[in-house]
Structure 1
């Protein structure tokens, strides 16, 4: 039994597309046959005039059915559109769900289904109010054209350099050129075949997806990459995953808002002949929105971070085609990184072993007890001996006079007569 490996949200989208398209077709054809069988006038009943207002958007009748703005995207009224819608959901939604995750794809689908349908709904009401044309009032707005345009914008951000090969190599188109070709194709259909609703949905889906991815989407690189099975039939490059293995260098806390990279500017979606004009118009419009505080300007750090994130994403998640020069270079680079990682891990192990051995040797050596340090005694410095002086006794004055008289009496009296007196 053939098993199809599809993420859960992609399965839900496919089921919605099949179920809602079948229900609307059944209701429309039942009403058509009932009206045709009971028609007695000369004017035949037109199938295009029969609508289901509670599953598709009809400007004059669906205002009381708000869920119709979501369900209308999954309703296709022709076999060719139904086939293209299934192929788009199968390949595009599956790829984006495995790259972005379930929550982000659900948010993207909600925005891409509601906003473009509501924008075209308002445009039809405006045309009816200005011209009074009832065709605009009761036009049926449905189909996944806006969702297809949004997925092409997302691929321009994720894998711009990937080449889509169709019809065994007869048609080769770069992904970055697909949005402009898609817009041109449906614009010509709107002008030539009067498919104005599809043309409006295409442009509304393009601008909705670009504005959301450019300014509002919070993106992060998860360290764990989930499942992907390579298949030779897929049109898009397979995300490189390892079954839940951790990607080196990734961080779950690294988040950025929007995509300020140079390659995702509005002018880069169009050919070089018209990109300068679009760049001037878009820059002035953005400056006006910044002055009105409706948008935040990008700093140089935001641009560099977005460029770096996109480059890291393409290196981590996008697998090159087998047998190409880039594939061989990536293989050699992976082998070199693996060998370098092994050498670093081996050197770390050896360093840890040496450190453990040194610690064991230090623990095995006996530790000598440390003797307490005795306080150093200060040696006194010898000083020269001091001479002792005896105290002197002083006699009173009377005793000194008596002693002087005694000394004079013991010496006898002397009489000194000078020589001049004898002459």
Structure 2
């Protein structure tokens, strides 16, 4: 797509130099393709894509791979090759992985950077990749401790943007969770399903030999790291941190069938982290008078950490769906009846007799509460009508059952 490289990886310096000469001859063409693919993205996005593409030539040298990528045995004492935790992410040994990295970084530049800003995007890039290097190295040290196989220390090379690809998938899920990507006979695939689906796809690719053994491990660590950062630590323009929205829990990454046990395990771990002081406890405030508006505050923050625009969007969707449902119910004869009692004259108050909606309507109402910004799926009950002593109209009110 970008350059015609007709060389096989022989590990020799001559092959490496030949690749660099080929890239140099195709530099104008590469620039043209970059402009067409990346469009009006920032300089930092283009720089990352350019470095990833040029570093692909270094993958033809075994020595360059060893020096640039993270090798668990060399990262630990006495070698301390700490620079590899910053350089490993720019090296790919398969050209199709280079294309995936460029498309992912370009997507981040067009979709995420306008919302976060260039500095926050670079911060996210650095945090996720550094954490992936450390966690993946720790994983292979654990394997070595269990097997005493030194190949896990000196023959494993951690490189590439697999962790950052996972981080972008998590960020897209956070920003547009309900966007449908495709429809299949088994159901719709939305951004909610992308992170876990791509992880299992990477495992399959590892089994068939299309990716290295480090790829699924890096991808999983990228999922975990990016979620923790976006959930608890990302700083927003209004001074708050994290995103405690109910649709962004760790259980929301999994299918609905297994979400309850996942939620129980994750809540137990979270409670333990709160007790030892690593996480702050979330204080939820419920406004009974207005069941749709629920505020969440974290000690030390001045306002809710849920984005106002996202909350308003979800509230409007829930209200619209509720109105349509109630309209259908009224049209079918289920609703309120008003009658003027002849015994009390024309000045007597109207009597409104509410009828209880069927169980299907009540369950629909509860499911709509989940779609809004209400946390922990609170249920709603319809309270009995309250009559005014001074002759006013009777009213019905909704209260939370928490």
Q: What TM-score, normalized by structure 2, do the two folds share?
A: 0.59
1:262/1:307 contact within 8 Å kept: no
Match of 1:297 in 2: 281
Q: Among 117, 123, 137, which residue is 2:139 paired with? A: 123
Higher strand share: 2
Change (3 A) 1:165 1:6: farther
* Cα deviation code 1:248-306 (max 9, x no counterpart): xxxxxx22111111011111111011111110000000001111111101111563734
Change (3 A) 1:7 1:300: same
Instruction: Say which SS state the counterpart of residue 52 (structure 1) adopts.
Output: helix
Tell me, yes or no, if structure 1 residue 13 matches structure 2 residue 13: no
Quote the Cα distance in structure 1 between the aligned partners of 2:173 and 2:296. Answer: 17
2:71/2:156 contact within 8 Å kept: yes
Change (3 A) 1:310 1:66: farther
Change (3 A) 1:13 1:313: farther
Q: Among 165, 172, 181, which residue is 1:164 paired with? A: 181
2:56/2:95 contact within 8 Å kept: no
Instruction: Say which SS state the counterpart of residue 127 (structure 1) adopts.
Output: helix
Q: Among 160, 177, 186, which residue is 2:193 paired with? A: 177
Q: How does 1:4-403 map to 2 (within 5 A)?
A: 4-22=39-57, 24-28=58-62, 52-63=65-76, 64-137=80-153, 138-164=155-181, 173-190=189-206, 193=209, 195-220=212-237, 254-301=238-285, 303=296, 305-309=304-308, 311=310
1:97/1:105 contact within 8 Å kept: yes
Match of 2:392 in 1: none
Instruction: Say which SS state the counterpart of residue 277 (structure 1) adopts.
Output: helix
Shift of 1:191: 5.2
* Cα deviation code 1:216-237 (max 9, x no counterpart): 11112xxxxxxxxxxxxxxxxx
Change (3 A) 1:72 1:306: same
1:158/1:314 contact within 8 Å kept: no
1:53/1:65 contact within 8 Å kept: no
Quote the Cα distance in structure 2 between the aligned partners of 1:191 and 1:54. Answer: 27
Quote the Cα distance in structure 2 between the aligned partners of 1:181 and 1:299. Answer: 33
* Cα deviation code 1:166-214 (max 9, x no counterpart): 9xxxx97311110121122123344564943111111100000000000
Instruction: Say which SS state the counterpart of residue 77 (structure 1) adopts.
Output: coil
Structure 1 consecutive aligned stretches of length 4 or more whose deviation exceeds 4 Å: 190-195, 312-315
Shift of 1:75: 1.0
Unaligned 5+ runs, structure 1: 29-49, 221-253, 316-423
* Cα deviation code 1:53-101 (max 9, x no counterpart): 3211111224432121122112111122111111111112332111100
Shift of 1:51: 6.1
Shift of 1:13: 1.2
Larger-Rg structure: 1
Quote the Cα distance in structure 1 between the aligned partners of 2:235 and 2:307. Answer: 16
Shift of 1:314: 6.2
Shift of 1:164: 3.1
Shift of 1:25: 2.0
Instruction: Say which SS state the counterpart of residue 273 (structure 1) adopts.
Output: helix
Match of 1:392 in 2: none
1:165/1:172 contact within 8 Å kept: yes
Aligned residue pairs total 258
Quote the Cα distance in structure 2 between the aligned partners of 1:118 and 1:19. Answer: 25
